[in-house]
Amino acid sequence: MQLIDPSAIIWSAPVAERAGRPLLVLLHGYGSHEGDLFALAPHLPLQPVIASIRAPLRAGPGYAWYGLEGATPESRSDGADAAARCLLQWLDGVQASSVGLLGFSQGGAMGIHLLRHAPERFAFAVSLAGFVVQGDAPADARLAALAPPVFWGRGTNDSVIPPAFIEHTQSWLPHHSTLTERIYEGLGHSVSEAELADVLTFLRAQYS
């Protein structure tokens, strides 16, 4: 079974300052690392403790939540399921007043996928240039009933995420979440200042 490496997690606060606070988990994209999204930490709300996680699989110069070599819809779904179980096992050992998720690209897909495994455990998810993994997940029906807040942002010039993934996500998320969708004209596979400002507005509402 895949495992999260606790020594590779970047925290925004020492152990003594985490008790009783909400947790915001950062999930990086394919081929990246835990230091990538942590660069956003100075711009994020002060209420939560931030934990930036390293994905468990090697992928080129970095890491991945599931493999893409020769991937099929079934292998992507199976890989996302395995990564979700891995993250949930790590969260079993973490104490927090609430848990939110913020991911980019494949990490954004994993944020949504975690909701599809254990929607009761998460307050919200932010998916930046992410998508919904095709196939069924164990708690899709419970997620639809709970409809937690989800922010989904993407650029019109994103050439990395296949159009079919976007179309599936557009049809799926409104029926399984309380969706805030933002589309950024001319933005590629990245995060813009305008998107970050919208994310901060969304996050402040979650922590108010």
Domain ranges of the chain: 33-207
User: Residue 100 corresponds to which tokens in the numbers above?
Assistant: 């939110």
Distance CA 154, CA 129 (A): 5
Q: Element (H or E) spanning 117, and its range?
A: helix 106-117
pLDDT of residue 1 exceeding 70: no
Helix, strand, coil % over all residues of the chain, rounded to 5: 40, 20, 40
178 Rama class: left (phi>0) / alpha (psi -120 to 50) / beta: beta
Homologous superfamily of 33-207 in CATH? Answer: Alpha/Beta hydrolase fold, catalytic domain (3.40.50.1820)
Residue 69 pLDDT exceeds 90: no
Taking 70 as the threshold, does the pLDDT of residue 32 lie above it?
Answer: yes
- Using the predicted structure, report yes or no on whether residue 2 has a pLDDT greater than 90: no
Give the model confidence (pLDDT) of 140-162 as tens digits. Answer: 999 999 999 999 999 999 999 99
- Distance between CA atoms of residues 38 and 60, nearest Å: 20
89-106 pLDDT, tens digit each: 999 999 999 999 999 999
| Whole-angstrom distance, CA of residue 188 vs CA of residue 128 | 11
Contact status, residue 60 vs residue 33, Cβ threshold 8 Å = no
Instruction: Evaluate whether 134 touches 66 at the Cβ level (below 8 Å).
Output: no
| pLDDT for 68 | 87
